[in-house]
Amino acid sequence: MRVKGGYVTQRRHKKILKMTKGQWGTRSKLFRRGNEAMMKSYWYAYRDRRVRRREFRKLWITRINAGTRQHGMSYSQFIHGLKQANVLLDRKALADLAVREPVAFAAVVDIAKKALA
């Protein structure tokens, strides 16, 4: 007895093809190619969510480094000074201060310098 494509299979296929809508060529028309494309896109999305966090951290460190260099200090000295002074600001907040509030960032740099001295 042959297996026919029943209602459940059609629903599953339509769901996959709906997800690949807008993709190029047979990826949005044929189930098998569409399923491959959908699985690959989910894998890329999973991977790139982690890459995005990595990239943001690199950006924050670059911004903090630029801000600390204006005050005659390196990034690593600055972070070490903050740890010794028990300042619990994360890199995202520090980068935001360096860009938007230079006066407040200068105060934080002074705290780090005092802790190192």
Q: Does residue 2 carry a pLDDT above 90?
A: no
Q: Tell me what pLDDT residue 46 has.
A: 97
Tell me the C-alpha distance between 17 and 62, whole Å: 42
Burial of 19 (0-12, 13-18, 19+ CB in 10 A): middle
- Per the listing, tokens 């950006």 go with 59
The domains located in the chain, with CATH, are 7-116 (1.10.1900.20)
Assigned token pair, 99: 């860009």
Write down the pTM of the prediction. Answer: 0.78
Residues 6+ apart with CB under 8 A from 33: 25, 26, 27
Q: Does residue 1 carry a pLDDT above 80?
A: no
Residues 6+ apart with CB under 8 A from 61: 75, 91, 95
pLDDT tens digits for 6-61?
888 899 999 999 999 998 999 999 999 999 999 999 999 999 999 999 999 999 99
Tell me the C-alpha distance between 112 and 85, whole Å: 7
Q: Looking at residues 66-70, what average pLDDT do you find?
A: 95
